[in-house]
Amino acid sequence: MDRKTVIWRVCLVSILATGFVGCGVLKSVIEQNTGEEENLAEMRPEDLPKRIFLRNKTLDVTLNTSDGTLLVVDRRISRSWKQKALNKDMALSGAAKTDDGIDMLFTHASSGIKVTVKLRLDPKAAELTLELQGEGKLPGALAYPHPFVTESGTYLVIPMNEGISYPVDDESIKPRWLIAYGGHGICMGFWGVTDGEAAQMAIIETSDDALML
């Protein structure tokens, strides 16, 4: 692995859903107002810390418990990768730091389904893993993990057809859904973003029902 590359892996263990969203880097930001902010706020424990911090030999990882987003800092090159919450249907109702990561409990507001998320940080490598698990039928796609926001001057790397790379600020290319489990989306379970000097890469470990935007 290149010393300037951060890898994060997403593993969907056993959740019965119509899809899995949030594995993509968005070129533009779209706000979604679900009208359920008050109910979500009630699910948050009063003693839940605002942030939970992890560190290994290369990365600093901070969980923002208000919205479940992550801030990843690569100390080797002083580069930050920050997520943005585009969907407010997932309420963080519990989080606890472990020896090698963070255990989280989310409540899917529109269905009431409990979703456990295990974040694990590799002790040495610039790599972290997110593992999701839950039971029940969801009314729609589960929008987690949140996407990392790209910056002007960076390029998306998408394994579509023979593979493509294009500037994130090219407004002629409109956002679109790409499935990770068929021939009309991505052909391999990963995506990446780079500025030519540093990069981040997401590997979808269980791509059977994943989507990216």
Give the pLDDT confidence of 64-85 residue by residue, as tens digits: 999 999 999 999 888 888 999 8
Bond preceding residue 45 cis, omega within 30 of 0: no
In the chain, % of residues over pLDDT 70 = 73
Give the pLDDT confidence of 133-177 residue by residue, as tens digits: 888 887 777 778 888 888 888 888 888 777 778 888 888 877 767
- Name the band, by pLDDT with cuts 50, 70 and 90, for residue 117: very high
- Which distant-in-sequence residues (6+ apart) come within 8 Å of 181 by Cβ? 207, 208, 209, 210
- For residue 57, the model assigns a pLDDT of 92
Q: Map out the domains of the chain as residue ranges.
A: 5-212
Which is more confidently placed, 139 or 34?
139
In the chain, % of residues over pLDDT 90 = 23
Nearest to 16 by CA among 185, 180, 139: 139
- Name the band, by pLDDT with cuts 50, 70 and 90, for residue 181: low
Measure the CA dihedral 27/29/30/31, to 10°. Answer: 160
- Name the band, by pLDDT with cuts 50, 70 and 90, for residue 45: confident
Q: Determine the average pLDDT of the residues in 89-104.
A: 92
Q: What are phi and psi of 210, to 5 degrees?
A: -95, 155
